[in-house]
Amino acid sequence: MLFNWDLVLTKYELKFSTRTRYGIRSMIEIGMDTSGKGVFQKQIAEKQEISVKYLDHIIHALKTSGLISNVKGRKSGYVLTRPPDEITMLDIHNSFESGICVIDCLSPNITCDRNERCAARGFWGHVNNKIINYFKSVTLQDMIDEQSCLDDAVNL
Amino acid sequence: MLFNWDLVLTKYELKFSTRTRYGIRSMIEIGMDTSGKGVFQKQIAEKQEISVKYLDHIIHALKTSGLISNVKGRKSGYVLTRPPDEITMLDIHNSFESGICVIDCLSPNITCDRNERCAARGFWGHVNNKIINYFKSVTLQDMIDEQSCLDDAVNL
DNA sequence: TCATATCCTATCATTTCGATAGGATTAGTA
DNA sequence: TACTAATCCTATCGAAATGATAGGATATGA
C-alpha cells in the first residue's frame, strides 16, 4: 500500500522548506560577522554544514530579494543591506517563497463560491494570520542575540 | 526550467492537507445535524461538494480516531461520540496526520548535534507551539456557532 | 432477498522536494 | 597579463507525498 490512512506519519504536510531554514541560518551567520570584510559562501557552508553548491541557490535568493549584497564586487564577502533589527523572519521567508498561505482558498487568486458561507475558511485565515504575525514580530537582531547567548553558554 | 528560484510560486510549502480540510468540514456537518438520525456520507458529500469516494477515506479516518460513529450499525448515519465543545481542531487534525511539526528537527525522533546551539531551532519551536495552541483552543462548537451565524446571514 | 451504504485495498498522474552538476563569468592578485 | 578562485546561472536527478479514483467485498435494514 502506498498510503496508510490509519496512521499517516506526517512528513511533508505543513513543513517549512529546507531553503527557508538554511536561509535563516545563513542570515544569522552574515549578521553576526564582525570582521567588516563580509562573509564568504564557503564560510557559511562550513559553519552551518550546508553544501556550497546548495548554498548557491540560497545566497542567490537572498541577494535577489535585496537582503544581502557583496561589500564591493564579486570576490568580497556578503553583508546585510540594512540593520538586522529592520529585517524580519518574514522578509527572509519571502525571499524563498511567495508568502505564507496555509490553504489555497485564502489566496485572492482563488475564487470559491463557498467563501462567504464557509466557517472553516475563517479558521484557516486565523491560523494564517497568526503565523504571519509571528514571522513579522521576530527580527534578525533577535536571532543574533539568541545565538550569541547560546554561543556564550557553550564557551563557559 | 523545472524550478525558478527567482520567484517561487508557493504551492506545496506549508500547506494543510486537503484531507484535514475536508475532515473539519465533515465534522461541522455532522455536528450541526439536528435530525437525531445521524448524517450519511452521501449527505456530507453533497452539501460539502466532495466526491463520495474521496469522503470514504475522510470518514474512515474520523471513525478510526474515535471522533464519530454510526448511531446504530452500518446503515444508520454518523454522529459525534462526544459533545462538540470537547472536540478541538487539533483532535480533528490529528485524525489525519501524526501531529503538527513544522520542521523535522523539532521531533524527538531526530537527533541533530546542532540542537543545543541553534537559535533557528528555538524560533521554529515557537512557531510550532503557536500553531498547536491555536488548534487546541478552537472547538467544534466554536465552528458550529460560526457556521450558524453565516447560514443565518445568508437567509436574511 | 435485494438494494444500498459501508468498508477496504490498490493504484494513478502530478507536483514538489532537496540536492548535485557543469560550465560561464568575473575580479582580485601574483 | 595570466592565473586562480569565487560567483553566477541553468539544467537535471531520484525520492516522496499529494489528491483522487476504482473495484469489489461485506454487511444490513426494509
**Cα(B30)–Cα(B22) distance, rounded to whole angstroms?**
12
* CA→C1' distance for B108 and C6 (Å): 38
Which of B15, B21, B61 faces A120 most closely, judged by CB atoms? Answer: B21
* CA→C1' distance for A1 and C9 (Å): 7
pLDDT-derived band at A75, boundaries 50, 70, 90: confident
The pLDDT value recorded for residue A10 is: 58
pLDDT digits (tens, 9 = 90+) for A26-57: 999 999 999 888 999 999 999 999 999 999 99
- Distance, in angstroms, between A117 CA and closest chain B CA? 5
Collect all residues of chain A within an 8 Å Cβ-Cβ radius of residue B17.
13
3-class secondary structure per residue, chain A: CCCCCCCCCCCCCCCCCHHHHHHHHHHHHHHCCCCCCCECHHHHHHHHCCCHHHHHHHHHHHHHCCCEEECCCCCCCEEECCCHHHCEHHHHHCCCCCCCCCCHHHCCCCCCCCHHHCHHHHHHHHHHHHHHHHHHHCEHHHHHHHHHHHHHHHHC
pTM of the model: 0.93
Residue-wise burial string across A124-153, b where 16 or more C-beta atoms lie within 10 A, e elsewhere? beebbebbbebbeebbbebbbebbeebeee
- The reply to whether A56 has its C-beta less than 7 Å from any atom of strand D is yes
3-class secondary structure per residue, A89-102: HHHHHCCCCCCCCC
The pLDDT value recorded for residue B111 is: 80
Residue A18 · residue A58 · CB < 8 Å: no
Task: State what percent of residues in chain A have pLDDT above 70.
Answer: 92
- Distance, in angstroms, between B82 CA and closest chain A CA? 20
**Cell numbers given for B127:** 512557531
**Cα(A91)–Cα(B103) distance, rounded to whole angstroms?**
19
Q: Which strand D nucleotides have any atom less than 7 A from protein CB atoms? A: 5-13, 16-23, 27-29
**Which residues numbered 87-126 in B keep a CB inside 8 Å of some CB on A?**
89, 96-104, 114, 116-120, 122-124, 126
Q: Which of A7-16, A63-72, B119-128, B138-147 has the lowest mean pLDDT?
A: A7-16
| Chain B contact present for A52, CB below 8 A | no
